[in-house]
């Protein structure tokens, strides 16, 4: 264990998984239509601005707009096992829970159709979209503090107990502004070309403070009966010739952690990049097929560091933060005039996107499979439901404290109300059930078990004129 561990924890915040449905850094949920029926890749309604822009040619001539707000609630839990934890509470397994709550996540989509042409655009959270707060820190924080008790043995001391106050909060937001045009080739075929400007803003802060250890010289037979402040011991240990420079660097961090202010980290990252987008739509009788390919967004994010007691999170340094390219294919079929079935497939080329520390080498690729149904009860009311299965290709090297991905399935349902011929209200709710991911050994531990929960409620309005 060394001081780079604290840096790795901080960096992991900027690649935390999205609070919506989607890949490692991509939100495929950008409207209430998706929440009520996840299989939207062959849509020909206004939400097709994102899901199937070539299908917008099926809109009527004129202006079409859609506004949505979503509320997302998520937990991320890491259950870690390490013998080091025995010295802090007497148990070798501890649970670290982070909560992400984002009640307001707006999005906008618009299109203007005239004859064989459609001009469309959108502004939405295209990736990330939330924050996670670990009030009791992270396993890596805990191991960093606890391992100091082992290092000091080389300096003539021993320890059998420690306590530390730790905290970590990270947020990740990618705002996407999309613009493009659709052209009707003939009655069956249409094509789309456009681009999305992605702007990244990440922030993270954390601390280790109030570190105390129960220590005694190795020659002594008895431990102190009182927990003592690490500062009283650690300063003396730093002068020991028995420690390596790397060990002294870690003890230096722990020396700061023993103070009331603690060893702190406060930084943010910003960056931007552009991804071209191509789309194709085929329509015949009761069938509609939509295909979309989003190119990789090549970008770096730049550190804006206010405080970094590790001495390694340098201000102004750039970090790779590419958004993977994405292929989507969707099919819809009208079983009855009032009943439509739909299916979709997403493939994310994760291993082709540059990530911090070369994590893409262990990212593999993500595949998603979607199904949905919509039933038009009458002219006013519609009900719908859908599901999605997500399979990630990540391995142990990719999985870290705040940056982990778990296979999952999502189920959504809801409906729409035609308030008037030109105004429609959409409401949807979906939740995601995740499979636990076990990593042995973990990040400085003997085992880490990663788990998550996710719930999203969405409401929006479509109107045209």
For residues 180 and 121, the answer to whether their CB atoms sit within 8 Å is yes
Asked whether the bond before 257 is cis by omega within 30 degrees of 0, the reply is no
Q: Give 131's Cβ-side CA count (13 Å radius).
A: 16
In whole angstroms, give the CA distance from residue 392 to residue 8: 22
For residues 341 and 385, the answer to whether their CB atoms sit within 8 Å is no
The pLDDT, as a whole number, for residue 128 is: 75
In whole angstroms, give the CA distance from residue 117 to residue 120: 10
In whole angstroms, give the CA distance from residue 16 to residue 400: 9
The pLDDT, as a whole number, for residue 357 is: 82
CB atoms within 10 A of CB 116: 12
The pLDDT, as a whole number, for residue 72 is: 92
In whole angstroms, give the CA distance from residue 16 to residue 357: 15
CA distances from 215 to 84, 159, 162, 222, 225 (A): 15, 4, 9, 9, 10
For residues 409 and 390, the answer to whether their CB atoms sit within 8 Å is yes
CB atoms within 10 A of CB 425: 15
| Structure tokens, 122 | 């959108």
Helix axes of 245-257 and 139-146: crossing angle, nearest 10 degrees: 110
In whole angstroms, give the CA distance from residue 1 to residue 160: 19
In whole angstroms, give the CA distance from residue 139 to residue 63: 52
The pLDDT, as a whole number, for residue 129 is: 62
Domains of the chain: 18-84+94-125+173-202+270-464 (2.40.160.60)
CB atoms within 10 A of CB 106: 12
**Beta strands at 117-134 and 228-229: parallel, antiparallel or unpaired:** unpaired
Burial of 128 from C-beta contacts in 10 A (0-12 / 13-18 / 19+): buried
**Beta strands at 228-229 and 447-464: parallel, antiparallel or unpaired:** unpaired
- Which helix H or strand E contains 242, and what residues bound it? none
Task: Report the Cα–Cα distance between both ends of the chain, in Å, rounded.
Answer: 63
Q: How far is it between the farthest Cα atoms of the chain?
A: 90
The pLDDT, as a whole number, for residue 11 is: 39
Is the pTM higher than 0.85? yes
CA distances from 274 to 178, 195, 339, 358, 419 (A): 10, 7, 38, 21, 38
CB atoms within 10 A of CB 7: 17
- What residues contact residue 122 under an 8 Å CB cut-off, 6+ apart? 30, 49, 50, 107, 108, 109, 110, 176, 177, 178
Q: What DSSP designation does 259 have?
A: S
pLDDT in tens, the chain (465 residues): 444 444 444 434 443 445 556 788 899 999 999 999 999 999 999 999 999 999 999 999 999 999 999 999 999 999 999 998 888 888 899 999 988 888 999 999 999 999 999 999 999 999 876 677 888 888 887 887 777 777 777 777 777 788 888 888 888 889 999 999 999 999 999 999 999 999 999 888 888 888 888 777 766 666 665 556 555 666 677 777 878 888 888 778 878 888 888 888 898 999 999 999 999 999 999 999 999 999 999 999 999 999 988 666 788 888 898 999 999 999 999 999 999 999 999 999 999 999 888 889 999 999 999 999 999 999 999 999 999 999 999 999 999 887 889 999 999 999 999 999 999 999 999 999 999 999 999 878 999 999 999 999 999 999 999
CB atoms within 10 A of CB 288: 22
For residues 43 and 51, the answer to whether their CB atoms sit within 8 Å is yes
The pLDDT, as a whole number, for residue 130 is: 65
| Structure tokens, 71 | 């509320």
Q: Which ranges of 58-159 would DSSP assign to H, the alpha helix?
A: 139-146, 148-151
Q: Which ranges of 15-164 would DSSP assign to H, the alpha helix?
A: 32-36, 48-51, 139-146, 148-151
């Amino acid at each position: 264990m060394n001081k780079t561990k604290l840096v790795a924890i901080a960096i992991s915040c900027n690649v935390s998984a999205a609070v919506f449905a989607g890949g490692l850094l991509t939100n495929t949920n950008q409207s209430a239509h998706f929440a009520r029926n996840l299989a939207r890749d062959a849509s020909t309604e206004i939400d097709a601005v994102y899901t199937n822009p070539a299908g917008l040619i099926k809109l009527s001539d004129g202006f079409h707009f859609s506004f949505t707000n979503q509320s997302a609630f998520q937990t991320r839990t890491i259950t870690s096992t390490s013998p080091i934890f025995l010295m802090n509470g007497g148990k070798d397994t501890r649970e670290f829970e982070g909560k992400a709550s984002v009640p307001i996540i707006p999005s906008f989509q618009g299109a203007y159709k005239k004859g064989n042409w459609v001009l469309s655009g959108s502004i939405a959270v295209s990736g990330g979209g939330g924050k996670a707060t670990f009030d009791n820190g992270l396993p890596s924080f805990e191991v960093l503090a606890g391992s100091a008790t082992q290092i000091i043995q080389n300096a003539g001391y021993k320890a059998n107990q420690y306590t530390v106050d730790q905290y970590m909060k990270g947020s990740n937001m990618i705002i996407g502004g999309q613009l493009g045009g659709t052209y009707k080739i003939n009655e069956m075929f249409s094509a789309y070309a456009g681009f999305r400007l992605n702007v990244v803003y990440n922030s993270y802060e954390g601390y280790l403070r109030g570190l105390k250890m129960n220590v005694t010289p190795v020659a002594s037979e008895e431990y102190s009966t009182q927990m003592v402040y690490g500062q009283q011991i650690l300063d003396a240990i730093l002068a020991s010739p028995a420690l390596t420079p790397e060990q002294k660097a870690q003890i230096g961090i722990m020396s700061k952690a023993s103070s009331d202010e603690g060893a702190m980290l406060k930084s943010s990252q910003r960056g931007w990049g552009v991804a071209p987008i191509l789309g194709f739509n085929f329509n015949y009788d009761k069938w509609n097929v939509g295909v979309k390919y989003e190119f990789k967004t090549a970008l770096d994010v730049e550190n804006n560091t206010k405080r970094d007691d590790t001495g390694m999170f340098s201000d102004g340094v750039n970090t790779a933060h590419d958004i993977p390219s994405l292929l989507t294919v969707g099919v819809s079929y009208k079983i009855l005039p009032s009943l439509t079935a739909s299916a979709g497939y997403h493939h994310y080329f994760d291993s082709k996107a540059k990530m911090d520390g070369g994590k893409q080498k262990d990212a593999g690729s993500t595949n998603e499979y979607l199904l949905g149904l919509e039933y038009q009860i009458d002219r006013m009311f519609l009900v719908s439901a859908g599901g999605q299965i997500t399979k990630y290709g990540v391995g142990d090297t990719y999985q870290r404290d705040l940056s982990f991905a778990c296979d999952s399935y999502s189920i959504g349902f809801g409906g729409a109300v035609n308030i008037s011929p030109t105004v429609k209200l959409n409401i949807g709710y979906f939740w995601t059930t995740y499979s636990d991911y076990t990593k042995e050994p973990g990040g400085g531990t003997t085992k880490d078990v990663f788990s998550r929960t996710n719930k999203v409620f969405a409401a929006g309005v479509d109107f045209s004129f």
